[in-house]
Structure 1
Amino acid sequence: MLGYQYCLFMRRSVNVLHINCYAIAGCSTNTNPSDGKFRVLDLKKKTFKPQEKKKYIKTITMAPREQRMPVDQDWTNVWPGPKTFHPASVPLALRQGYDQKRASPGKYGNAELMKIPNFLHLTPPAIKKHCHVLKQFCTKWPNGLETDEDCNKHFPLTVISTDYCHASPTIRDPKARIVTLKFKLSSLQLDQHAKDKMIRLVGKRYDEETDMVTIVIDRCPMRKQNYDYGIYILTALYHESNTFEDWEKLKQEADMEYYVWENNPSKTAYVSYVQYPKVVTEEDVKLYSIDNDPVGQIYKEAVSYLLNNGEDIYTLKKYRDAAYAILLPEVDQTSA
Structure 2
Amino acid sequence: MVFKASSGIAILHNCKYLFALPPPVRQASHAVGQEVDTDEFRVLDLKLKKKTQTVRRTQRKLTALSPRSEKMHVDQHWPSVWPGPRTFHPATVPLPLHQGYPHKKKSTPGKFANTELMKIPNFLHLTPPAIKQQCEALKKFCTDWPKGLETDEQQESHRPIEVSTSTYCHSSPSIRDPLSRIVTVKKVEPWESEKLREDMEVYLWEGSESEQNFSNLLQWKGKNDKENPKSNISKEDKENYKIAVESLFNSGEDAVTINKYKEATKNLVCLVLK
Q: Taking structure 1 as the reference length, what is the TM-score of the superposition? A: 0.32
Larger helix fraction of residues: 1
Q: Taking structure 2 as the reference length, what is the TM-score of the superposition? A: 0.38
